[in-house]
Amino acid sequence: MSTRAEFLTRIRAQLARTPALFPAAPSLRPARPQEIADTIRRELSERWPAALERFQRELERVGGVLHRVASVHDVPAVVGRLARERGVHGVITWAPSALGFDPAAGLAAQNLTTHAMPVDVPDAERGRALRETIATTSLGLTGVDAVLAETGTMILRSGPGRPRSTSLLPATHVAVFDRTALVESLAQVGVLLEAWHASDAPEASGAAINFITGPSRTADIELTLTRGVHGPKEVHAIFVERPIRE
């Protein structure tokens, strides 16, 4: 069996054979990530339209769809239309405190049953029932913690009221965000990750951070592309013009 050093040496040798690759180097960890994150947010408060335009372009390139609405009150109508087109009658949602608004009344007006995730830790029996409900519901509605414009990626943290299964198990994932979630580059995302790690907010202690770039895709050895094997077949993002949390 090869040692770790031998394994890494072979990888370096193979990489050296590939021409025209830029050199890679680790980024320095910021000493005060929250201050830098706040600066990024202030700068994006002016540049967000360009970031949103790029996000839409990159999201559509990977098969996602962007919708724009004026306020969170318009979100249920978009979800309702998507549900009717797919013959769906129920929606799994993050808890209202995690979403930043409560969509239940609006979804009920669209003849949809809402299954909101609890913020407390369920007991074993309730946990099994929740997992079965999520697994058999075809549409999941979540918020977004950060939206990466340069790759069309949405970044979601798991935590109380916001399980990752809400975005992974339903066949259609719908995510809601506003301009405050937008960032331009992966380097900026790295700063946010450091700031989140240092935060004492409940969602900062979640089990996972998911980077979602379009619908799930899997290809076999013959490069036959299949959607939805390891996640949603469809990904829709709803951009809300008015800030969600006012």
Q: What would the pLDDT profile of 153-166 be if each residue is shown by its tens digit?
A: 999 999 889 999 99
Higher pLDDT, residue 224 or 28: 28
Distances 237 to 11, 64, 100, 231 between C-alpha atoms, Å: 38, 8, 16, 16
In a domain, 27, yes or no: no
- Residue 57 belongs to what domain range? 49-240
Residue 195 lies in a domain: yes
In a domain, 20, yes or no: no
pLDDT tens-place string over residues 18-35: 665 566 677 778 889 999
Q: Return the CATH number at 79.
A: 3.40.50.10420
Which residues does 211 contact at the CB level (< 8 Å), separation at least 6? 148, 153, 154, 155
Residue 145: the pLDDT is: 95
pLDDT of residue 148: 97
Q: Is 118 helix (H, G, I), strand (E, B) or coil?
A: coil
Indicate whether 196 belongs to any domain.
yes
Q: Is 15 within a domain?
A: no
Q: Is residue 246 part of a domain?
A: no
Mean pLDDT of 213-233: 74
- 36 CB-side CA count, 13 A: 17
Mean pLDDT of the chain: 89
Q: What is the per-residue pLDDT for 215?
A: 87
Q: Distance (Å, rounded) from C-alpha 5 to C-alpha 44?
A: 43
More confident residue, 204 or 133: 133
Q: 143 lies in a domain?
A: yes
Question: Which residue matches tokens 């608004």?
Answer: 101
- Asked if 227 and 216 count as a contact pair (C-beta separation under 8 A), the reply is yes
For residue 176, being part of any structural domain is answered with yes
CB 147 within 8 A of CB 209: no
Domain total of the chain: 1
pLDDT (tens digit, 9 = 90+) per residue, 180-203? 999 999 999 999 999 988 877 665
